[in-house]
Amino acid sequence: MEITSFTPLSAAIGGALIGLAAVLLMALNGRIAGISGILAGIMAPLRGEGRADFSWCLAFIGGLVLAPLLAGLFRGEAIQISTPHPLWMMALGGVLVGYGTRLGSGCTSGHGVCGIARLSKRSLAATAMFMTTAIVTVFIVNQLLGF
Amino acid sequence: MRALSALIAGLIFGLGLTISGMINPAKIIAFLDVAGGWDPSLLVVMASALAVSFAGYRVALAREKPLFEQRFQLPGKTAIDRPLLVGSALFGAGWGLSGLCPGPAITAAALGDHEIYVFLAALLGGMLLKDGLRPGAPAAGRPA
C-alpha cells in the first residue's frame, strides 16, 4: 500500500478553489458544479435530449483538462499521480461510478460539495452513503484482500 | 459568454483538484483506507470547499438570476429515495475500487496515464448503461 502524507495547507487551498469554482458557476451560469451531471450534459444528444447544455458543459470539461497542464507549467515539473489498484479494478470502478452517479443523480462534487452547501438532505444522504461504501470497499480490498 | 464562464469555472475547479492532490488515486484511497495509513487530506478539501461554497451560494442565490442566464437551475427533488441510495452506494464502491470519481478522472486525463483512460472509458460505458442511447426518450434527470 502506498502511503501518502497529510497535506492540510494544499488541501485547504485546493478546496477553497473548488468552492470558488462552484460559486462562480452558480453566480454566472446558474448551474450546479456537478461533474457527473456536466459529463451527462455532453452526452445528452446521444439520449435525444438536445444540445442546449452541450457547449457550456464541454467548456467546463475543457477547463478541467487544462488545469493540471497549467499547474505543471507554474510548478516547472509535471504533476505525478499513481494508481495503487490493479487495472481491472479501475475498469470495474469506472462502470460502477458511471452507472451509480447517473442513478444517484450526482457524485462527490454535485452531492458532496454543491448539494451539502445548499443544505440538501438528499445530498447529505447520498454523501453519507457513498463515503460508507467507499470506505468499506477499500477496507475489503486493502485490509482483507491485501492489495 | 456562458461557455467562457464555464471554461474559467472548470479551470479553477481543476486547479483546486490538482493543488489539493485529489487527482491522485493513491491519495483518495489513502483517505478511504481508515484502517491503514490514513491520509485525512480529503476531509480538509471538503471542509474548505464547503465553507466557500456555502457562503458564496448565499450571496449568489440571493440575486434574482445568474449573470448570464435567465434563472438558476437547482435540483427539484427532495425525497431520499431508492435510486439515490442505491446509485450512491454503487458509486462509492466504484470510487473505492479505483480511487477516482468523475472530476479528478477528467482532470487527470491530460497527464497521460493509461489507467485513467481505462477508467474514463468504463465511466462513459457505465453512464450509457444507465441512460442508454435513446433518441426521443424523456429527460433522465438534471446535472446534480
Q: What one-letter code names the amino acid at A103?
A: L
CA atoms within 13 A on the CB side of A100: 30
Q: How many domains does chain A have?
A: 1
Contact across the interface for A100 and B92, Cβ inside 8 Å: yes
Does residue A47 have a pLDDT over 90?
no
Q: Which of residues 55-84 of A touch B (CB under 8 A)?
A: 55-71, 78-84
Domain contains A73: yes
**Secondary structure in 3-state letters for chain A:** CCCCCCCHHHHHHHHHHHHHHHHHHHHHHCCCCCHHHHHHHHHHHHHCCCCCCHHHHHHHHHHHHHHHHHHHHHHCCCCCCCCCCCHHHHHHHHHHHHHHHHHCCCCHHHHHHHHHHCCCHHHHHHHHHHHHHHHHHHHHHHHHCCC
Please tell me chain B's helix, strand, coil percentages from 3-state DSSP, rounded to the nearest 5. Answer: 65, 0, 35
Residue-level pLDDT at B144: 46
Domain contains A127: yes
Domain contains A2: no
Domain contains A136: yes
| B119 SS3 class | helix
Contact across the interface for B77 and A105, Cβ inside 8 Å: yes
Domain contains A1: no
- Mean pLDDT, rounded, for B83-97: 98
More confident residue, A76 or B48: B48
Contact across the interface for B87 and A105, Cβ inside 8 Å: yes
Distance between CA B92 and CA B68 in Å, rounded? 34
User: For residue B135, what pLDDT band results from cuts at 50, 70 and 90?
Assistant: low
Domain contains A3: no
Please work out, in degrees rounded to the nearest 5, the angle formed at the alpha carbon of residue B98 by the alpha carbons of B95 and B99.
65
Contact across the interface for A43 and B65, Cβ inside 8 Å: no
Residue-level pLDDT at A79: 87
Distance between CA B26 and CA A26 in Å, rounded? 31
Domain contains A82: yes
More confident residue, B140 or B6: B6
User: For residue B1, what pLDDT band results from cuts at 50, 70 and 90?
Assistant: confident
ipTM score for this prediction: 0.96
User: For residue B138, what pLDDT band results from cuts at 50, 70 and 90?
Assistant: low
Predicted model pTM: 0.94
Contact across the interface for B100 and A94, Cβ inside 8 Å: yes
Q: Which of residues 40-59 of A touch B (CB under 8 A)?
A: 40-41, 43, 46-49, 53, 55-59
Does residue B142 have a pLDDT over 70?
no
Range of the domain at A139: 8-144
To the nearest whole angstrom, how far is the Cα of A13 from the nearest Cα of chain B? Answer: 7
- Say if B117 is an interface residue toward chain A (CB within 8 Å): no
